[in-house]
């Protein structure tokens, strides 16, 4: 079993290893500022591309959701999340899935809010500042799959608020995917912690 580092958010001690760090521990914490005036507290929250769950566990610790769902394709990330669940006795409030995007999420899952800090570069090039699994989404295939499928897990009044990097994408890169998935853009806005990061806030199209 890996020997984990620990960071504490509120009353939750989050397990991680350095190779899983991708920004959720830093600019991902700006969700604590962004969500209360826009969405407020929700029942069920999902963190997409969760890594060790820096964002999701922090939002849970600060009372912005009642229960939490986390998923990642990386087994090491899932192991870290499950260690956090065990360490903090959160088995009745947190579910963790090993999943390639949304492919292996149970169909019984229903979310009020989706957040995430997915790979920010739509390329397969080797990048000097982080692992390919964390940094790269070649031709935006992961994003395309996400926006195509996330709607089936959403309540009609739910929200999807994802962090992206404006140096390597714009809302236009995702607009067609969002529309095809039955969602609409509510707004985009800058992250207060890192001015390279912006939010893409979407919601289901109203019938």
pLDDT digits (tens, 9 = 90+) for 16-34: 999 999 999 999 999 999 9
What band does 138 get if pLDDT is binned at 50, 70 and 90? Answer: confident
Among residues 52, 57, 103, the alpha carbon closest in space to that of 79 is found at 52
Residue 120 banded pLDDT, cuts 50, 70, 90? confident
Kindly indicate the confidence band of residue 133, based on its pLDDT and cuts at 50, 70 and 90.
low
The structural domains of the chain, ordered by start, are 22-204 (3.40.50.150)
**Cα separation, 52 vs 57, whole angstroms:** 9
Q: Taking a C-beta distance cutoff of 8 angstroms, is the pair 35, 114 a contact? A: no
Give the pLDDT of residue 2: 73
Q: What is the pLDDT of residue 134?
A: 65
Around Cβ 20, how many Cβ atoms within 10 Å?
27
Structure-model confidence comparison of residues 57 and 207, the more confident one: 57
pLDDT digits (tens, 9 = 90+) for 42-93: 999 999 999 999 999 999 999 999 999 999 999 999 999 999 999 999 999 9
Lowest mean pLDDT among 3-7, 138-142, 180-184, 193-197: 138-142
Buried b (16+ CB within 10 A) or exposed e, 71-100: bbbbebbbbbbbbbbeebebeeebbbbebe
Task: Specify the higher pLDDT residue, 207 or 20.
Answer: 20
CA 84 to chain centre: 17
Residue 206: what pLDDT?
81
- State residue 121's pLDDT score: 64
Question: What is the rounded distance in angstroms from the CA atom of residue 134 to the CA atom of residue 127?
Answer: 10
């Amino acid at each position: 079993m890996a020997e984990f580092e620990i960071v504490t958010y509120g009353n939750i001690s989050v397990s991680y290893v350095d190779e899983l760090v991708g920004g959720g521990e830093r600019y991902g914490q700006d969700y604590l500022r962004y969500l209360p005036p826009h969405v407020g507290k929700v029942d069920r929250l999902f963190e997409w591309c969760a890594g060790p769950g820096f964002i999701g566990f922090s939002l849970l610790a600060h009372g912005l959701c009642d229960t939490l769902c986390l998923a990642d394709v990386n087994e090491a990330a899932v192991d870290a999340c499950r260690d956090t669940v065990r360490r903090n006795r959160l088995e009745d409030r947190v579910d963790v899935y090993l999943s390639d995007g949304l492919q292996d999420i149970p169909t019984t899952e229903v979310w009020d809010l989706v957040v995430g800090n997915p790979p920010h570069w739509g390329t397969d090039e080797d990048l000097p500042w982080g692992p390919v699994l964390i940094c790269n989404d070649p031709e935006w295939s992961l994003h395309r799959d996400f926006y195509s499928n996330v709607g089936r897990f959403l309540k009609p009044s739910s929200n999807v608020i994802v962090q992206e990097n404006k140096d390597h994408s714009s809302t236009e890169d995702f607009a067609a995917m969002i529309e095809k998935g039955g969602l609409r853009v509510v707004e985009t806005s800058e992250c207060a912690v890192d001015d390279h990061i912006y939010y893409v806030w979407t919601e289901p199209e109203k019938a």
